Structure 1
Amino acid sequence: MQFDISITDTLGAEALDLIANGLDGFNLDAAGYADRRALAVLVTDPETGKVLGGLTGRTSLGMLFIDLFYLPAELRGHGLGARILATAEDEARRRGCCSGVLYTISFQAPDFYVKHGWRVFGEIPCEPAGTRRVFLSKDLSAA
Structure 2
Amino acid sequence: MSNPKPAVLFVCVHNAGRSQMAAGWLRHLAGDGVEVRSAGSAPAETVNPAAVEAMREVGIDITGQTPAKLTWDTARQSDVIVTMGCGDACPVFPGKRYEDWKLDDPAGMGVDAVRPIRDEIRARVEALLDDLAVGRR
TM bucket, shorter chain? under 0.3
TM-score (norm 1): 0.23
| Structure having the larger proportion of residues in helix | 2
TM-score (norm 2): 0.24
Larger Rg over CA atoms = 1
| Structure having the larger proportion of residues in strand | 1
* Higher relative contact order structure (alpha carbons within 8 Å, sequence separation ≥ 6): 2
